[in-house]
Amino acid sequence: MSIVIAILIFGLIIFIHELGHFLVAKACGVRVNEFALGMGPQLIHFKKGETTYSLRLFPIGGFCAMEGEDSQSTDERAFCKKPVWKRIFIVVAGAAMNMILGFVLIVIMHSVDDALTTTEISWFEDNAMSHSTGLEKGDEIIEINGMRIFTDLDISYQFSSDKDGIFDMVVKRNGEKVKLSDVRFQMSDGSLHIDFKVRPEKVTPLSVLKMSFRSTASYARLIWISLGDLVTGQYKINDLSGPVGIVDTLGQVVESETGEDGGIDWGALMDKLLYLSAFMTINVGIFNLLPLPALDGGRLMFLIVEGIRRKPVKPEHEGMVHFIGLALLMFLMLIITSNDIIRIIKR
């Protein structure tokens, strides 16, 4: 089941990404030769108008093949013949659609919740240390250690990454911002003890939209922070997961919601799958915009350079850079997949 779920989730994320490129390319008058889901040999395909639509064997990617995308073309509707600003819109459309999909999934996730979780404190434990060192009931936490707080997920992130249980906070109290220094929490065996609860909010269309925008921003920022931690060495390549690791994670999620009688709590399972799917598609959107060869972000950088120079980089030079980047990316995926398999075997 986890494999089927993974293929459906990957397929949706890939389809939405390539659909973004496809729709904007068509809107900009670019000829699209093929729209494909999957890589490798074609399983099924059909042609409608000028475009071939295909489903390929390996569900690990997809593409929107545009005329003149990677080479020169005399066709006036070729990608390379269009103004730089149109090509930029086409390139970023895939990532933009991933972000939109993430937002939609988060809206669905919040819409079926019994209540929304705010960042406003509604209750303290008896003799709560955080209360005695500055926090008050009714405080809305808006900043912790310099990081803007959008959702309770941000609070959890700050608390889980802390070492000493001491925080500088900014809260909204009686409509005004109040700075609090050295708010303290008890630490036990290296773990921080959270001694307050936050107020639940009623689910309404307005509250869902508001919370969904905040959650999308929160997810995107946490992904960006994780990428920064990877670059600075706080995370290592061994900490990354690829398709195999994701399938394994989905299997654990399914198992966690399966009872002793084999029955599945579909409500709880769908809630977790919505969360994972939203996080994954936002991740794909952000990762694709990184200025790396073979990614949309790499193509975007070449277009920006062309816009500044008012002269395109030679296609053969750009093609070589993307080819090398793709080879390195495939090598990285091979390493990550090997690590995933080793982790599963050792578990």
CA distance 118 to 142: 11
CA distance 86 to 105: 28
Strand partners, 178: 171
Per DSSP, helices labelled H in 232-288 are 243-256, 266-288
Q: Which amino acid is located at 346 in the chain?
A: K
Q: Nearest to residue 171, comparing CAs of 153, 188, 148?
A: 148
CA distance 99 to 308: 28
How many C-beta neighbours within 10 Å does residue 54 have?
A: 20
18, 67, 69, 318: the active-site residue: 18
CA distance 272 to 284: 18
Phi, psi of 10 (to 5 degrees): -60, -45
Upper half-sphere CA count for residue 165 (Cβ side, 13 Å): 15
140 counts as catalytic:
no
Q: Which residues are catalytic?
A: 18
